[in-house]
Amino acid sequence: MADPNPYLTAPIPGMSLTVEPGSVPWEQPPQFVTIDEVAQMYSERMNNPEAIDDLMRLLEGNIPIASIVNGMITMSIMKGYHTVDTGFLVTPVIAEIIKTLAELNDVPYHMTAEDVDKEKKVSPSVIRELIKEAKSAIQKNPEAKIERRGLMARGEE
Structural domain total, the chain: 1
**Is residue 77 included in any domain, yes or no?**
yes
**Domain of 36, in residue numbers:** 27-113
pLDDT digits (tens, 9 = 90+) for 64-109: 999 999 999 999 998 999 999 999 999 999 999 999 999 999 999 8
Name residues whose C-beta falls within 8 Å of residue 16's C-beta, 6 or more positions apart in sequence: 24, 27
Report yes or no on 135 lying in a domain: no
| Residue 11 covered by a domain | no
19 domain-assigned? no
**What is the per-residue pLDDT across 29-49, written as a single tens digit (0 to 9) for each?**
899 999 999 999 999 999 989
Give Cβ neighbours of residue 87 (< 8 Å, ≥ 6 apart). 38, 73, 76, 77
Whether residue 138 is predicted with pLDDT greater than 70 in this model: the reply is yes
pTM assigned to the model: 0.64
CA pair distance 98, 78, nearest whole angstrom: 21
Residue 46 lies in a domain: yes
Q: Is residue 57 part of a domain?
A: yes
Task: Please tell me the chain's helix, strand, coil percentages from 3-state DSSP, rounded to the nearest 5.
Answer: 60, 0, 40
In a domain? residue 78: yes
| Any domain includes 20 | no
